Chain A
Amino acid sequence: MVSRRDFFLTCGGAGCALAAGVSAGTILVPAKRAFAASSPRAYPARFWKKLPNKRIECGLCPKHCKVEDRERGFCGVRENRDGEYMTLVWGQPCAVHLDPIEKKPLFHFLPGSRAFSIATAGCNLECKCCQNWDISQSKPEDVDFHFMSPEDVVAGAKEYDACVTFTYSEPIVFLEYAIDTAKAARKAGVRATMVTGGSGEAEPMREALKYLDAVKVDLKGFTEDYYQRMCKGKLDPVLKTLEVILASGVWLELVHLCIPGQNDSEAEILAMCRWVKAHLGADVPVHFTRFHPEYQMKNVPPTPNATLVRCREIGLSEGLQFVYTGNVPGLAGENTSCSKCGKVVVVRRGFELLDMKIKGGRCGFCGNAIPGVWT
């Protein structure tokens, strides 16, 4: 019979042998992270202030992270190094792609044009339904990235006759890079746009807005509970950002991703539409888009088409002039109609522009001004 002592001795010996073998293997194998590309470079960040004991307070977004030395903020891409705040994503986009502008979606901004879209890792929110979670919820060292200076980005946009768009993850967390690139784009005569969740502080946003030509903001929900529960964020700062953008004169469009059972109640949609009309005006386009299962919500069915149609009806009934449905090509609500004569002036199918009857920013039928950037 095996005694307890023998049993434990045998197990212990086997365990030590296994540990020794694994340790030897790990020492011999090159010490590289399993899936990382290379180490990101650090550049000085802006919009922060020093605190005692080498701590800093970030001022980029409402979270106002107070960061210890060698620690990072919530977004994971800005790091305190010896009392100096550094961004780890300047010039290092991990996503570079060419999209139709309608995909952002920006329907009243240069229809039919292309968007040279870039993004870095990181985000200052954590939305459970994030469509780009692969990069937004990653650290810079966990993704493959390219080194692209602002001039490289602008050159890429020019090659494809596209505007530069900061999108996919959250441009607020790479705002320094976005501002420098937008400046370079403005200098080269290339337009710049941004797709953002809008959870940023006013001062950095105003700085960026000086060089942007259009912004699309995700108004994810219209209750603080939704923002807290689903995004780890807050609603109020987003509403303030919307007012800042409107005041700057930069073209603004809104998107609301309708998630079944979470933010698609009629009461919430009604409240949102009334606020938009009262604070932003009836001419700001609003898109109600279909949710697609993703990230932590892979088993929630997509938004029913009837919900999108109903949301659009609510928006139009509250006096909003340009209300669209999105992510369902062929569904009513893709085209732009003149608010005066009611005729369809822009025909779209999915992300494709089929026809446009706008001349000089005016309806081709009745001459009414159609808000937007058309040339």
Chain B
Amino acid sequence: MDLAANLGAVRRVVVVAVLVAVAAAGGAALLAQVVLLREILASSQGNELVLGLVLALWLLLTGLASAVGGMGPLATQAAARRLGILLIMAPLVLLGSLWLTTWAGPDALGRVPGFSRFAAITILALAPACFVGGLAFAWSLTTLPGQGRAAQLYGSETLGAATAGLLFHVVLADRLSSAWIMFVAGAVCTLAGLCLVFQRRWFAPAVALAVLGVSAAVCPRVSAALASARFPGQQVLALEPSRYGLLAVVARGDQRAFFHDGTLQFTSEDAWVAEEHVHLPLLLHPNPRRILLVGGGLGGGLVEALKHKPERLDYADMDPGILPLARRFADGKTRSALEDPRVRAVAKDARLVMRDSPGRYDLILLDLPIPHNALLAHLLSVECFREARRALAPGGLIALVTPGSETQLDAGSRQRHGSLMASLRAVFPAIGMSPGSPTIFWAGEANVDARPGVLGARLEERDLHLVQVGRTWLLDRLLPFHVESFHRSLDSSLPVENHDLRPVVYLVGLVENLQRVSPILARTALIVLRSRWSPWCVAAAVFILAALVALVRRGRPSPSLAAACAGGTGMALQLVVLLAFQALRGHLYHALGGLLAANLAGMAAGAFAAGRYLEQPRVLFRACAGAAAAAALVPLAIVCARAWPSTGTTSILVVTVLVGASTGAVFPVAVRASGRDGVAARLYGWDLAGAAFSAAGVTLLGIPLLGLVPVAALAAVLCVAASLANLRST
């Protein structure tokens, strides 16, 4: 009796130790995922579509590791030992993964690697961390066999991941560097692993201590390697993660260059460049007293705008990290301009500034790079221009200053510029432009007099003695034949409007890639997708097809199809939510951990709740239908987030949890519905495969072609198909 009780107690201790170990592994995997995602995002100049590719690779590699870990016969004690050793070594493995991301940094000329090299490096960098997570789960399943244990382990893993994600968002993101976060994640794993092996291996604590010591010593070197990889051969004065990405200040001699996610923003010696950006728009308005400047101010734009003696100059830069850096490193004139009493510099989304200022501004000047991600695209969308129109005073103007070309734009740039023009046209009745480098668009309620003579006269009235901008410069910028030729070239590019939830930057990238493969296909994509209704037609067509397939199969229950659809839907919706958050809020870089944690918490809750309803009739059909219903809520939440910014973040978080819960519930139900033992791993594989393919498909095709909301609708369609296919399930 005592022996049995003792054995039972030991067994319970082992179970708890394994559950804790797998929770630690799950937490470490989540932290590693978030850290690596952020590093890779910063290496790819903030292009959010890499999220989908990284998540797809993460799932595939984790699934592969899980499959490798489950291969061959393995005794439970051996599995426990392996699990313990793996977790003890975790800090070194995670730091190794982080170090490998340095290979994805730019070369000496600031060029990011091409797609295939980037993908290969991403796989190499993710593989070690993925193998920790995948092998840990597989060996824990072997250590604690049984159908009920699988659900427990899954729940424990997701709970660990959700906790880690929350911890990252609330505490770690603002306080620790990437290397130290990896160390913390690995250290927790080491302690958990030690609990599994120290009773059998007397030297295990010494090994664990040694691993922790070496990892702690290596952390600063990894941080230094990350910094120097981003800016090879340059002197980095500051490297700071902000809510919106990675900010850096680099020195060469007396010049200070400011970077965001590896993209050059401005330098301290750009004064005359700022002249070309700011004065033409300001001269277009007869008397600009209240000006809103968005972007470009810290590179000399503020100084130049003040020469027109406005009453008030508001400068909005979304990133709260940039103004303190500018006060430290920008040139003296810009620092003085920031202290000018007429200048109000705010670290705030310009759209919120415009929303709070109806009828205030004579001129709104957007001096931004051509958008290459959703973060920038949301400042150049139709919705943004509508808000700008409301913020303009009577007779007010909006001006966009973007990089251009002295000669002729290449195809992709023409498409992007055409998109800007089309988006302005959708809101303003009168539009003008000045092609060149930079290209300047302006728009308002009525045409403005943009004759060089008129603008030259205003130059003199305002007593402006400028270095570069003068009457000759104005003449050259506004040559009629040049403007007409530019206008024609933009019209011929089949421009597509840029909307918040359908960032044209993704479509242009896809069309550019298609152009290399088949120009006919590229043109077809543009012709079809110019219409606002075309994504919905595609969604409807897919729905009809899926419903037909499902109805044909309705007599044969399909847990594997349900698992694959749940995985695919969950991933698609997760990506939609992440990108919608970026498009509407902009600080995905900071909120990534929290959003992933919300999804995982939902999955854990869903898996737990589903366990209580496994005996219900047609439970698989109900689970899939629930997932479809949750998917249908996503577009609603996104629309609410756009319409009511104050409650938007909450609605996105709530729907993220609901989606996680509904898709997380499908897996245990599918295991139960299969009615066979030993299928959990196979169904997990289907789940992962569905998620991985969904991530790749949504990233490469779905979101660029259709936009965010139609993709969410398609995800709901898939779940409806899966539920119909399981209509007759028991």
Contacts and interface: CB of A to CB of B under 8 A. Distances in A.
A352 B476 contact: no
Contacts of B409: 134
B647 interface: no
Interface in B515-534: 515, 518-524, 526-528
A329 B108 CA distance: 28
Nearest to B527: A29
B376 interface: no
Contacts of A169: 407
Given A34-B511, A350-B272, A304 B558 contact: no
B259 interface: yes
A128 B405 CA distance: 16
A293 B264 CA distance: 9
Given A22-B521, A33-B523, A299 B263 contact: yes
Most chain A beta-carbon contacts within 10 A, residue among B109, B267, B470, B523: B109
B558 A1 contact: yes
Contact of A134 (B410, B482, B485): B410
Interface in B678-706: 679
A25 interface: yes
Contacts of A33: 519-520, 523
A131 B403 CA distance: 12
B559 A1 contact: yes
B221 interface: no
B411 interface: yes
Contacts of A329: 272, 467-468
Interface stretch (A136-144, A220-228, A235-243, A338-346): A136-144
B341 interface: no
A132 B406 contact: yes
Contact of B408 (A135, A262, A297, A307): A135
A298 B110 contact: yes
A59 interface: no
Given A34-B519, A94-B407, A304 B252 contact: yes
A307 B255 CA distance: 10
A2 B561 contact: yes
B476 to A, nearest CB: 6
Contact of A351 (B473, B492, B494, B528): B473
B18 to A, nearest CB: 29
Interface string A1-35: 11000000010000001000010011001011111
Contacts of B405: 132, 134
B520 A261 contact: no
B223 interface: no
Nearest to B528: A25
B549 A10 contact: yes
B692 to A, nearest CB: 14
Contact of A305 (B269, B414, B558): B269
A306 interface: yes
Contact of B109 (A98, A133, A297): A297
B72 interface: no
Interface in B549-577: 549, 558-561
B176 interface: no
A334 to B, nearest CB: 10
Contacts of A62: none
A34 B561 contact: no
B681 to A, nearest CB: 14
A261 B255 contact: no
B461 interface: no
B73 interface: no
A34 B522 CA distance: 6
A330 interface: yes
A289 B470 CA distance: 21
A95 interface: yes
Nearest to B676: A1
Nearest to B262: A299
A100 interface: yes
Contact-residue size bin, chain B (C-beta under 8 Å from the other chain): 35 or more
A144 B560 contact: no
A128 B109 contact: yes
Contacts of A36: 519
Interface in B302-342: none
A352 B472 contact: yes
A123 to B, nearest CB: 12
Contacts of A98: 476, 479
A136 to B, nearest CB: 9
A168 interface: yes
A138 B410 contact: yes
Contacts of B414: 35
Nearest to B250: A301
B233 interface: yes
A265 interface: no
B560 A1 contact: yes
A34 B558 CA distance: 44
A299 B233 contact: no
B454 to A, nearest CB: 19
Contact of A135 (B407, B472, B492): B407
A302 B267 contact: yes
Interface in B457-480: 467-468, 470, 472-473, 476, 479
Nearest to B486: A144
Contact of B264 (A26, A95, A133, A301): A301
Contacts of B415: 35
Contact of A304 (B108, B254, B263, B476): B254
Nearest to A17: B545
B185 to A, nearest CB: 31
A347 interface: no
B11 interface: no
B257 interface: yes
B111 interface: yes
A139 B709 CA distance: 38
A132 B407 contact: yes
Nearest to B407: A95
A304 B269 contact: yes
Contact of B255 (A293, A305, A352): A305
Contacts of A352: 470, 472-473
A106 to B, nearest CB: 16
A95 B472 CA distance: 20
B106 interface: yes
Contact of B272 (A128, A131, A330): A330
B524 A25 contact: yes
Interface in A126-184: 128, 131-135, 138, 142-144, 168-169
Given A31-B520, A34-B515, A35-B493, A301 B407 contact: no
B148 interface: no
B649 interface: no
A197 to B, nearest CB: 16
Interface in B534-551: 545, 549
B691 to A, nearest CB: 16
Most B Cβ at <10 Å: residue of A134, A261, A330: A134
A147 B55 CA distance: 51
B177 interface: no
B253 A306 contact: yes
Most buried by B among A36, A98, A144, A349: A144
Given A34-B522, A97-B406, 19 more contacts: A29-B520, A32-B519, A33-B520, A34-B526, A35-B415, A37-B492, A95-B407, A95-B408, A135-B407, A261-B108, A261-B233, A261-B252, A296-B111, A298-B263, A301-B252, A301-B267, A305-B254, A349-B468, A350-B470
11 contacts: A1-B679, A95-B406, A97-B406, A97-B479, A98-B479, A100-B476, A168-B406, A168-B407, A298-B264, A300-B110, A329-B467
CB-based closest 8 A-B pairs: A299-B110, A301-B257, A95-B407, A35-B411, A304-B255, A34-B523, A34-B522, A33-B519
Interface of B: 106, 108-111, 233, 250, 252-255, 257, 259, 262-264, 267, 269-270, 272, 405-411, 413-415, 467-468, 470, 472-473, 476, 479, 481-482, 485, 488-489, 492-494, 511, 515, 518-524, 526-528, 545, 549, 558-561, 674, 679
